Amino acid sequence: MMPRLVFLILILMASMVNAKLFKVSDRGLILSNTSVEHRCVLDDQSKLVWEVKLSAKGLQNTQNTYTWFDGKTGTKNGDYSHNCHWAESCNTQAYVQAIGGINLCQQTKWRLPTQAELKTLLVYGDNDLLIDQQFFPNTQLKSYWSSNQLNDHIAVDVPFYYGGSESSDKSFDAYVRLVSDAN
């Protein structure tokens, strides 16, 4: 009887630790887990809302990349700042402002996630892509910028594949997945 009780307690504890993800519509409504029309994901444990990338051309296209820029350090408009849909000044600050302006999923305070926040999305397993693709389709097998920086020239990025580095020169481009604290 005692081993069975310990086993049940361990299962309950494990289920409390795992994040519960919910698909969210552009209007901020919770959708079924089978929906393919979601624009964001709510992590019920951390109370963070994550941006979902789109395959369609435009602001949230999965192929868009950005240089790291926060208004003080980084690269606002350099050699690698032309790989987004507006093709000029493709930097993290401009992207955050653009997404904030459209009230994506009824959120207005979008930002670059911290390295620790991005790492909560990593799912290690048999796939090369280290993220739950049911919730985060169109994720690239590359690195995504975090808000953390090592110095004025180097920022921390998080690879969503095995073997990636965790820092890059801010003048290089990388992918971006924004986050917002849930309203």
Which tokens belong to 130?
A: 């280290």
Q: What is the pLDDT of residues 101-120, one digit of tens each?
A: 999 999 999 999 999 999 99
Rounded to the nearest integer, the mean pLDDT of the chain is 88
Total domains in the fold of the chain: 1
Query: What is the per-residue pLDDT for 69?
Result: 97
Structural domain harbouring 86: 2-181
Q: In terms of DSSP bridges, do strands 21-24 and 168-169 run parallel, antiparallel, or are they unpaired?
A: unpaired
Q: What is the pLDDT of residues 46-98, one digit of tens each?
A: 999 999 999 999 999 999 999 999 999 999 988 888 888 888 889 999 999 99
47 vs 18: which has the higher pLDDT: 47
Q: Where does the chain show beta strands of DSSP type E?
A: 21-24, 40-43, 48-51, 66-67, 143-149, 154-159, 168-169, 173-174, 179-181
**109 burial level (CB within 10 Å; 0-12, 13-18, 19+):** exposed
Query: What is the per-residue pLDDT for 9?
Result: 36
> For 43-54, what is the HEC assignment?
ECCCCEEEECCE
Going by C-alpha positions, the residue among 93, 105, 128, 79 that lies closest to residue 23 is 105
